[in-house]
C-alpha cells in the first residue's frame, strides 16, 4: 500500500517547478493527479512522462484570475476521475510583469498589488470554494495551500507577494476551522528559497550565497523537499494535522537575527 493510493489530487501551477515535482511524487505514491496550469502546453509536457510510466494524470487549463476557468477545471477533474481528495494550491503569479515589479509599496505600481492578490489569494480562495462542496459531500478532503517564508518576514521588496502569502496562511486557518468537523483538513506549506530551474537560471550566485548563510541545513531546498511535505499533508498519516503552517525552509525563519554574522564571529560553519 502506497501513501496516496486511491487518492485524486488537483495541483495548480503544476507545469513546472515545485508543482511538477509534487505531481511526480504524488503519482509515485499512488495518486491520480490533475496538473492544472495557465500554461497548458507545459502542463501536458509535465504530464506526458508520468502517463508513459503508467500514472493516471490529466493536464487541464486553469487561469486563477478567472472564476469560470476554476469552476471548469474542477468540473473536468470530477468528470475524469470521479472525486477529489486533495487540492494543492501551488500556483502563484511569479511573472516578470507582476513579481518583477513588486517592490516596496511606494514604488510598486498599484496594479501589481491588485494582480498579485487576484491570483495568489483570490485564486487560491476560489479553488477552495469550488472544491469544498464536493469534499463536504464525501465528508473528507485535504487542502494544502502554498505560502512562503516571506509571508512571515519583512523584506526590502515583494510587499504584495508577502502580504498575499500572509493572507494565504490565515485563509488556511479559516478553512480548517469552518470545515474541520466536516472531515476536511486544511494546511499551509511555506517554502523558503527553493532551487527550481527558474531559480537556478535567474538568481544571482551572491544572493544564493547570502541565503545559504542564513540556512541551518547544509544545503538549499529542492522542489522535492516541498513535494514531500505536501504529500505527507495530503495523506491520511496527517489526519490529526490541520490549520498548520509547515515551514519548509531549512530553518531560515527559526533562528535569531544575525545568525550568519554570529557564525563568522564565533568561527562556526
Ligand X SMILES: NC(=O)c1ccc[n+]([C@@H]2O[C@H](COP(=O)([O-])OP(=O)(O)OC[C@H]3O[C@@H](n4cnc5c(N)ncnc54)[C@H](O)[C@@H]3O)[C@@H](O)[C@H]2O)c1
Location of C-alpha cell 532551487: 195
Element (H, E) at 23: helix 17-28
State which of residues 10, 11, 74, 91 lies at the interface with ligand X (CB under 6 A).
91
State which of residues 44, 85, 93, 225 lies at the interface with ligand X (CB under 6 A).
93
Does residue 143 touch ligand X according to CB under 6 A? no
State which of residues 63, 67, 71, 222 lies at the interface with ligand X (CB under 6 A).
63
Q: Which of 4, 2, 22 is nearest to 13 (CA)?
A: 22
Catalytic residue selected from 81, 113, 161, 232: 161
Query: Three-state DSSP class for 267?
Result: coil
Does residue 44 touch ligand X according to CB under 6 A? no
Q: Which stretch binds ligand X (CB under 6 A): 23-31, 50-58, 85-93, 108-116?
A: 85-93
Does residue 18 touch ligand X according to CB under 6 A? yes
Does residue 16 touch ligand X according to CB under 6 A? yes
Does residue 188 touch ligand X according to CB under 6 A? no
Does residue 55 touch ligand X according to CB under 6 A? no
Could you tell me how many residues of this chain bind ligand X (CB under 6 A)?
28
Torsion of CA 210, 212, 216, 219, to 10 degrees: 180
Query: Three-state DSSP class for 146?
Result: strand
Q: Which of 34, 43, 33 is nearest to 5 (CA)?
A: 33
Termini Cα distance of the chain: 42
Element (H, E) at 10: strand 8-12
| 161 is annotated as an active-site residue | yes
Q: Retrieve residue 183's grid coordinates.
A: 472531515
Does residue 171 touch ligand X according to CB under 6 A? no
Nearest distance from C-beta of residue 58 to ligand X, angstroms: 15
Whichever of 137 and 217 has its CB closer to ligand X, that residue is 217
Which residues are designated catalytic? 161
Amino acid at each position: 500500500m502506497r501513501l496516496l493510493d486511491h487518492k485524486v489530487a488537483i495541483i495548480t501551477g503544476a507545469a513546472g517547478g515545485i508543482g511538477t515535482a509534487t505531481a511526480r511524487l504524488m503519482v509515485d505514491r499512488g495518486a491520480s493527479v490533475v496538473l492544472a496550469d495557465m500554461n497548458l502546453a507545459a502542463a501536458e509536457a509535465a504530464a506526458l512522462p508520468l502517463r508513459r510510466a503508467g500514472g493516471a494524470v490529466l493536464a487541464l487549463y486553469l487561469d486563477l484570475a478567472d472564476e469560470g476557468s476554476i469552476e471548469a477545471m474542477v468540473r473536468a477533474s470530477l468528470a475524469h476521475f470521479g472525486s477529489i481528495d486533495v487540492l494543492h494550491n501551488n500556483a502563484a503569479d511569479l511573472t516578470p510583469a507582476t513579481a518583477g515589479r513588486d517592490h516596496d509599496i511606494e514604488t510598486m505600481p498599484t496594479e501589481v498589488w491588485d494582480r498579485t492578490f487576484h491570483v495568489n489569494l483570490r485564486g487560491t480562495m476560489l479553488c477552495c470554494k469550488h472544491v469544498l462542496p464536493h469534499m463536504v459531500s464525501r465528508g473528507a478532503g485535504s487542502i494544502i495551500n502554498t505560502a512562503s517564508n516571506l509571508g512571515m518576514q519583512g523584506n526590502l521588496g515583494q510587499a504584495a507577494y508577502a502580504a498575499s502569502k500572509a493572507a494565504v496562511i490565515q485563509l488556511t486557518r479559516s478553512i480548517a476551522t469552518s470545515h474541520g468537523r466536516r472531515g476536511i483538513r486544511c494546511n499551509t506549506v511555506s517554502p523558503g528559497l527553493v532551487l527550481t530551474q527558474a531559480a537556478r537560471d535567474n538568481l544571482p550566485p551572491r544572493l544564493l550565497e547570502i541565503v545559504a548563510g542564513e540556512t541551518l541545513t547544509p544545503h538549499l531546498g529542492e522542489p522535492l523537499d516541498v513535494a514531500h511535505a505536501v504529500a505527507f499533508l495530503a495523506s491520511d498519516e496527517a489526519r490529526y494535522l490541520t490549520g498548520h503552517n509547515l515551514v519548509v525552509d531549512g530553518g531560515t525563519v527559526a533562528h535569531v537575527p544575525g545568525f550568519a554574522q554570529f557564525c563568522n564571529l564565533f568561527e562556526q560553519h
